[in-house]
Amino acid sequence: MMGDPAVITLNRPLQTLLISVVVLASMLATTILSSFRNNQDSNNIAGAQIYLAARKDKKNPHFASPSPTPSPAPSTSPSPSPSPSSVPVTRPIKVGIVVNDYANRYGELSSLEASLGKSISTVSIYKQFGSKYNSNLVLDDLSYIKSKGMKLLLAWEPWNPEQGMNQSVDYLQAITQGQQDTYIRSFANSVKTYGSPVTIRFGHEMNGNWYPWGNKPTQYITSYRHVVDIFRQEGVTNVTWMWSINFENTPYSPISNVSSYYPGDDVVDAIGIDGYNWGSSQSWSTWKSFKDIFIPSYNFLTSTYFKPLVVAETASTELGGNKPLWIEEMFKDSLTNSFTKITEVVWFNILKETDWRINSTDASLQSFKTNMP
């Protein structure tokens, strides 16, 4: 059967009201939820801002950003220096030869080169101001040196060797006073005409007492500079000026005293040292190694002057020791480890006070051949 119509009519307004309440409740809930979410987002943003601000604030140990890891600081303590024996030679050692002043000297030099199987870089000869036979630079005599591309090392001695220590002319004074200018100019032009490199050792070993120009520092310097001035006036450009001392002063004094003979940086291009191992060949001599001979003068010169350094004369006798071993130690030890600023060694290859020659014995020749760079 059908329901009561009044009841149906009565329920419709209630239903509408209920629906409205539900809608309003839903809208209210949505509004409340939205408000809650907005507040939460604001709180999140504020928190993030606080966090970022805190990261920028390095005073805050909890939020400070880590600094980059610094590179290790270099040690302030120096690295240990290698012992001299562990320092390899870093430059080629050139070898020159002093040859006799006679007609076959270059034939002898050629034979020596053939025996060594190696080339000689420099040939050293001597000229004297007052000699009747050996005062001028004869270009024909130098043709062999020039053709082989060797350098010429010239010891130019202000004396007459025939007169020994009792000279009729004081050559240092004569040079300073201009009395030797004509000869010097002629010699300068011969060097200029020669054209190839020439190194001149004027008045070598001036700190010794066995030459008449020795032990006269003031006169030596004045005459040295005068000679250089004339060469420059003549426009000679193929010359190197070498100040060439003996390894020690005679009479003996501290090696630093050799500075009293130094003519000046403007007239010195290179420095030479002369020294020999006389062994037991003389009553006053004893066996000395290359290092024993040269270390005091080497240390002084390299700490005082900044010029190329050459051993301009050296050799060893056979008497009183082992010459082959002396040669080996010179090349393989001394020049390699202790004398690293020496660029060349010139061997006095002459039979004179003793047998200085490389081939004084087969063993010495073999040692030179084996150990020469």
205 catalytically annotated: yes
Name the catalytic one among 205, 318, 329, 344: 205
Phi, psi of 283 (to 5 degrees): -65, -25
Q: Say whether 108 is catalytic.
A: no
What's the CA gap between 292 and 334, in Å, rounded? 10
User: What φ, ψ does residue 191 adopt, rounded to 5°?
Assistant: -65, -40
Compute CA 182 distance to the chain's CA centroid, rounded to the nearest angstrom.
Answer: 40
Per-residue burial over 257-267, b if 16 or more Cβ lie within 10 Å, else e, is ebeebbbeeeb
User: Under a CB-based contact definition with an 8 Å cutoff, are residues 64 and 57 in contact?
Assistant: yes
CA-CA-CA-CA torsion for 131, 135, 141, 142, nearest 10 degrees?
Answer: 140
User: 287-293: long-range contacts at Cβ-Cβ below 8 A with a sequence spacing of 24 or more?
Assistant: 287/320, 287/321, 289/326, 289/329, 289/334, 290/314, 290/326, 290/329, 290/330, 290/334, 290/335, 291/329, 291/333, 291/334, 291/338, 291/339, 293/247
Q: Which residues contact 146 (CB under 8 A, 6 or more apart)?
A: 194, 195, 196
Exactly one of 248, 313, 318, 329 is catalytic; name it. 313
Structure-token pair, residue 262: 């130094």
Q: Which of 166, 311, 323 is nearest to 246 (CA)?
A: 311
E strands present in the chain? 94-98, 122-128, 151-157, 198-202, 239-246, 270-274, 309-314, 342-348
> What does the buried/exposed string (b/e) look like for 103-126 if buried means 16 or more CB atoms within 10 Å of the residue's CB?
eebbeebeebeeebeeebbbbbbb
Distance CA 242, CA 154 (A): 10
Catalytic residue numbers read: 205, 313
